[in-house]
A = this chain, B = another copy of it.
Amino acid sequence: MAETAYEKLSAKSREVQLVGDAQALLGWDQEVLLPKKAIAYRGEQMAWFSGWAHEQFVAPEVGDWIAEAESSCEGEQETANLREWRHSFDRATCLPKALVEEFAQAKVMAQASWAEAREKSEFEIFAPSLTRLIHLCREQAELWGYDDVLYDALIDRFERGTSSRQLSETLGDLRDKLVPIVEVATAKSGQALPWEGRDFPVEQQKAFNEEVARSIGFDFDAGRIDTAVHPFCSGMAPFDTRLTTRYDETDFRSSLFGVLHEAGHGLYEQGLNPEHWGQPIGNAVSLGIHESQSRLWENHVGRSRGFWEKWLPVAAQYFPTLTGVSVDEMYAAVNQAALSYIRVEADEVTYDLHILLRFEIEKAIFADELAVEDIPAAWNERFKQYFGLSVDDNSSGCLQDIHWSMGIFGYFPTYSLGNINAAHLAQAALDQNPEIAGQMDNGDYSGLLEWMRKKVHARGSILLPDYLIVEATGSPASSEALVNHLKSRYIRN
């Protein structure tokens, strides 16, 4: 039976996904369970899978199949799959193998030197590795090509279809509107927490988090929650989506909001069309859309007053220390805003300022306007300007994040896109289905989830992010909804 070129591509794509999903389990296991001494061998295994996948993508017959299929493809789904296959193939094949290997090697070295630099707070230790990675990223970007500026080719790895110019407008506009909100929000935050002591046993936190995750729709027959140093979500197969969180026995908020955030990612993964698994359209479309789902459940749902009206009495059953705490006190406790040094600990109001700073630094690096050795000074100057704080310590400054040591540039802006998209989508869902608000006040999140399932999750990668947002909401994302949301939570209250 003669297979068409499209069918051959589909079969190959599914095989690559099937094996890649095994690698995803290895990666998840490495973060959650792997015994200490087994790490080096796991590294060898991961490298084998990366090499195998790369070989599948760059095989010349794959290029032939794509060309043949393009000449006769029809329909929205086929067209979208071919768009993505073409994109992956072109990006993979234009890199010489030597460059791919050098980059892989450089990342391993850079992560080690970053870890040491961060521990000692000495940027100089990291600078040579960083210089090399930036050089290699530049080489790759030149080979991939770009329309406007080189940085665009890097952003494209994480957010298809956006550009440095577009991000500059979006994030610049957001910054102008954020500054006055930050001022008010940080001034009125800071009251003491309505609990103290080690009153949150881990087992109780686990049980409470699970009840909450279940209530927002996370399917435990198709997923799990485990413990890891860094919370993350891995959608490693259809019907296998795993979240992690971490526990603090003095404060349940850390694990709960970790779970709400990661369960948001998880709901997206669980809502992808399983019939499309193994095709590009069966995957999440971008980081900016993925982050919109995590932020939606973490911030728009989990930090709302309605949420705590419903869940505070339940929480008090798991944690007797919360008996007597009022909804107002709890609402304040989960919405404290403060100017602070560390991005991953930042609140909803100040978070995007952290991103803006990184975006501007990256933009300057790849425009050849900022030399590596000048990064700490540029960082600290901007930090003073945005946060009013002096950075005494590069570990709390430009060395705090792991991303650059992993060769990841152009990733940070997607966090802010996530915040913007979350608010924009939430607003559209409520505008289109006003009954959702009332449902949520009764602890029923099914209306909101259903809207996201239909408009976002099930659409997978059929549309590129900007088009997906317009299709779902009727308008392009702007910071308006996010700003309104923050104003109503921090100013009008």
A222 to B49, CA, bound (A): 23
- Interchain nearest-CB distance for A341 vs B (Å): 34
- Interface size on A (CB < 8 Å)? 32
B238 touches A35 (CB 8 A): no
This chain: how many copies in the complex? 2
A237 touches B38 (CB 8 A): yes
B221 touches A37 (CB 8 A): yes
- Interchain nearest-CB distance for A273 vs B (Å): 14
A240 touches B49 (CB 8 A): no
- Interchain nearest-CB distance for A421 vs B (Å): 28
List 9 contacting pairs A-B, 8 Å CB cutoff, sorted by A. A22-B22, A22-B26, A22-B49, A25-B29, A33-B224, A35-B222, A35-B239, A38-B222, A41-B240
A240 touches B22 (CB 8 A): no
A19 to B238, CA, bound (A): 22
Contact of A48 among B19, B26, B34, B44 (CB under 8 A): B19
Q: Does chain B have a CB within 8 A of A360?
A: no
Given contacts A18-B44, A22-B49, A36-B221, 18 further A-B contacts (CB under 8 A): A19-B45, A19-B48, A21-B41, A22-B23, A25-B26, A25-B29, A33-B224, A34-B240, A35-B221, A35-B223, A35-B240, A36-B222, A37-B219, A37-B221, A37-B222, A37-B239, A41-B277, A42-B240
Contact of A29 among B18, B29, B222, B223 (CB under 8 A): B29
Q: Does chain B have a CB within 8 A of A15?
A: yes
Residues of chain A in range 209-240 having any CB-CB distance to chain B below 8 Å: 219-224, 237-240
- Chain A 8-52 interface mask (CB, 8 Å, partner B; 1/0): 000000010011011101100100011111100110110011000
A15 touches B48 (CB 8 A): yes
A221 to B26, CA, bound (A): 18
- Interchain nearest-CB distance for A332 vs B (Å): 35
- Interchain nearest-CB distance for A232 vs B (Å): 16
Q: Which chain B positions have C-beta within 8 A of A237? A: 38, 41-42, 45
**Closest Cβ neighbor of A46 among chain B residues:** B22
A405 to B414, CA, bound (A): 51
B26 touches A45 (CB 8 A): no
A38 touches B238 (CB 8 A): yes
B38 touches A240 (CB 8 A): yes
Q: Which chain B positions have C-beta within 8 A of A21? A: 41, 45
- Interchain nearest-CB distance for A233 vs B (Å): 14
A18 to B41, CA, bound (A): 8
B224 touches A41 (CB 8 A): no
**Closest Cβ neighbor of A33 among chain B residues:** B224
Q: Which chain B positions have C-beta within 8 A of A42? A: 237, 240
Lowest 6 CB-CB distances: which A-B pairs, in order? A37-B239, A38-B240, A38-B239, A37-B222, A36-B221, A41-B237
**Closest Cβ neighbor of A220 among chain B residues:** B35
Q: Which chain B positions have C-beta within 8 A of A34? A: 240
Residues of chain A in range 130-146 having any CB-CB distance to chain B below 8 Å: none
Residues of chain A in range 351-378 having any CB-CB distance to chain B below 8 Å: none
- Interchain nearest-CB distance for A270 vs B (Å): 10
Q: Which chain B positions have C-beta within 8 A of A48? A: 15, 18-19
Q: Which chain B positions have C-beta within 8 A of A219? A: 37
A221 to B34, CA, bound (A): 9
- Interchain nearest-CB distance for A45 vs B (Å): 6
Q: Which chain B positions have C-beta within 8 A of A222? A: 35-38
